[in-house]
Structure 1
Amino acid sequence: MKRLIDLILGLLVLLVLALPMLLVALAVRLTSPGPVLYWSNRVGKNNSIFSMPKFRSMQTGTPAVATHLLANPENYLSPIGSFLRKSSLDELPQLWSILKGDMGFVGPRPALFNQHDLVALRTAQGVHTLVPGLTGWAQIHGRDELPIPAKVALDAYYLQHRSLGLDLRILALTFFKVLRRDGITH
């Protein structure tokens, strides 16, 4: 049932956001050299690896690590990178991953392939059995500000309490947090 909802909602969102996504793609192309999309290897359900697209907000050649691990992440941002991240517009291409089935709208955020500490903690808690999401319980409780153990504890809570009602609550809270740009550190 959740997959069907993700598929229908994904198609509807894609129809509504197709033009804004084209405008963002054009802005990325015109403001910095390199591809419009950045594809990163992420950890999916049962720790399988998949490629997840985002609008490129960093300059080409930026190391493939979590942003908080960069010494001065702001030095790597493209001219519109900060805006894309703070507005969460860089996340829109993930609709592809939702339509493909690698992700859903709600679930734990997919870890980078090299975030071994996060993957190990999630596996120990059983969180790895979930389809990762565009947003999740941890996202609405701190996003970039959460240390990894706290993030995993929130993901484990979601695993134990997931329901359509909780998913709807997470989606609504995400909408308001994105509008207010809460929990974004870069």
Structure 2
Amino acid sequence: MLYKKVVKRILDLLLAVPMVIILFIPLIVIGLIIKFTSKGTALFRQERYGMDSKPFLLYKFRSMTDEAPVKANSDFDDITSYVTPFGMIIRKTSIDELPQLMNIIKGDMSFIGPRPLAKTDSKVLFLRKHNGADQVLPGISGLAQVNGRNNLSDEDKATYDAKYAAHVSFRVDMLLTVETFVSVMKRDGIFKETVVDDKESDNEVVRDGKEL
């Protein structure tokens, strides 16, 4: 499909590059605020798995304290107790995801696609590999994120991801972009409501400050 293989990538670059240029100063300011308001580095880096289940290094702004234990978000009884005051703001507004613009420019990610998962999400990674969900670039947002985010089971996430991979189109991406914007404005699913999942439906290992 021409859109999936060529047009989608071109659109990603046409949007991501200008965004990085326009947001360069704000991104620097946000990084400095993180650095000077809590112990640890401004950026969080972690190995995630993307297209064809290949690993790559994902970038985010650090939102957790330096003392956060090394475990998946879903294993926390109260993950918010480890989120810094400024980290809470950037999580609720999804500003912590902005460094992933560099992942998009590098070709690791797209704006829309299945969320890139860490090795702690071995079950979902296994399901994706077998249902074809890993045949597209991972995204900052996707079908699973606008249909429950934290509150989806592993099976449901993998099913949504496979459904997106099988129906990639400009129309679908535009609809998901609009739904993502609405979800961010409503702050839906930022923290889990049940024990089934984590903040961004990817069970990230949350030792943010130890990666750099």
**Match in the other structure for 1:84:** 90
Take 1:160 and 1:51, find their aligned partners in 2: how far apart are those partners?
25
CA RMSD of aligned residues (A): 1.4
**Match in the other structure for 1:161:** 167
Point out the more displaced range, 162-171 or 17-26. Answer: 17-26
Aligned to 1:97, which of 88, 92, 103? 103
**Match in the other structure for 2:119:** 113
Is 2:47–2:55's contact at 8 Å kept on the other side of the alignment?
A: yes
Q: Which runs of 4+ in 1 moved over 6 A?
A: none
Point out the more displaced range, 98-107 or 70-79. Answer: 70-79
Residue aligned with 2:111, SS: strand
Matched, 1:73 2:79: yes
Residue aligned with 2:98, SS: helix
Matched, 1:29 2:35: yes
Take 2:157 and 2:179, find their aligned partners in 1: how far apart are those partners?
17
Take 2:13 and 2:34, find their aligned partners in 1: how far apart are those partners?
27
**What's the CA shift for 1:64?**
4.5
Matched, 1:16 2:30: no
Aligned to 2:144, which of 138, 141, 148? 138
Work out the percentage of aligned pairs sharing the same amino acid: 37
Change (3 A) 1:63 1:45: farther
**What's the CA shift for 1:61?**
4.6
Q: Structure 2: state its 5+ residue gaps.
A: 1-6, 192-198, 200-212
**What's the CA shift for 1:108?**
0.2
Take 1:17 and 1:145, find their aligned partners in 2: how far apart are those partners?
31
Q: Structure 1: state its 5+ residue gaps.
A: none
Residue aligned with 2:99, SS: helix
TM-score of the pair, normalised by structure 2: 0.83
Change (3 A) 1:176 1:89: same
Is 1:66–1:112's contact at 8 Å kept on the other side of the alignment?
A: no
Aligned length: 186
Deviations 1:15-42 (A, max 9, x none): 2322322221121012101110000110
Matched, 1:39 2:45: yes
Is 2:133–2:163's contact at 8 Å kept on the other side of the alignment?
A: no
